[in-house]
């Protein structure tokens, strides 16, 4: 892997994985609300959020899912790759102060199409909060 091109499709192996972790702050939630325009009170208003099934504020699911993009774009397959698709299943809420770890693991490699399929998961304290699968268009050392 290099800083500009990440892993070439020929360099990937099934089972290879990488992770990124981040503690979700109140500022992250407020900034994500502004960027996404999702101002749902369950994310921003503690008094309202206490009346919901969550019993308090939660982070936007897509904020945590964004960490998957960080793994894919920065680590595995890395720079130069293009996101083609992503499935997501939201399993549990993420709260302000939680540390989310996003992990991507190579599941399938389709060399002739320069595609890699990766299992993606976000966890908090080892418990899955998001599960899914990503398809990436990778670079090739033969180009």
The CATH number given to whatever domain includes residue 113 is 3.10.129.10
Mean pLDDT by groups of 10 residues along the chain of 143 residues: 75 97 98 97 97 97 97 94 97 98 98 97 98 95 74
pLDDT of residue 50: 97
**Is 109 within a domain?**
yes
pLDDT of residue 142: 75
The domain in which residue 80 lies consists of 9-23+61-137
* Whole-number Å distance between alpha carbons of 123 and 21: 9
**Is 127 within a domain?**
yes
**Is 128 within a domain?**
yes
**Is 35 within a domain?**
no
**Is 103 within a domain?**
yes
pLDDT of residue 141: 80
**Is 43 within a domain?**
no
**Is 85 within a domain?**
yes
pLDDT of residue 6: 82
Domain tally, the chain: 1
**Is 38 within a domain?**
no
pLDDT of residue 63: 98
pLDDT of residue 3: 57
| Cis preceding-peptide flag for 77 (omega within 30 of 0) | yes
């Amino acid at each position: 892997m290099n800083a500009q091109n990440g892993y070439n499709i020929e360099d990937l192996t099934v089972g290879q994985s990488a992770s990124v972790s981040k503690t979700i702050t109140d500022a992250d939630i407020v900034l994500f609300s502004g960027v996404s325009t999702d101002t749902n009170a369950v994310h921003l208003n503690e008094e309202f959020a206490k009346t919901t099934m969550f019993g308090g504020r939660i982070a936007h699911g897509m904020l945590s899912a964004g960490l998957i993009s960080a793994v894919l774009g920065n680590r595995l397959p890395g720079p130069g790759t293009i996101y083609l698709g992503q499935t997501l299943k939201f399993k549990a809420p993420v709260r302000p102060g939680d540390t989310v770890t996003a992990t991507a693991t190579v599941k399938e490699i389709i060399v002739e199409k320069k595609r890699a399929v990766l299992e993606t998961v976000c966890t908090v304290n080892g418990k899955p909060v998001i599960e899914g699968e990503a398809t990436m268009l990778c670079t090739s050392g033969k180009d």
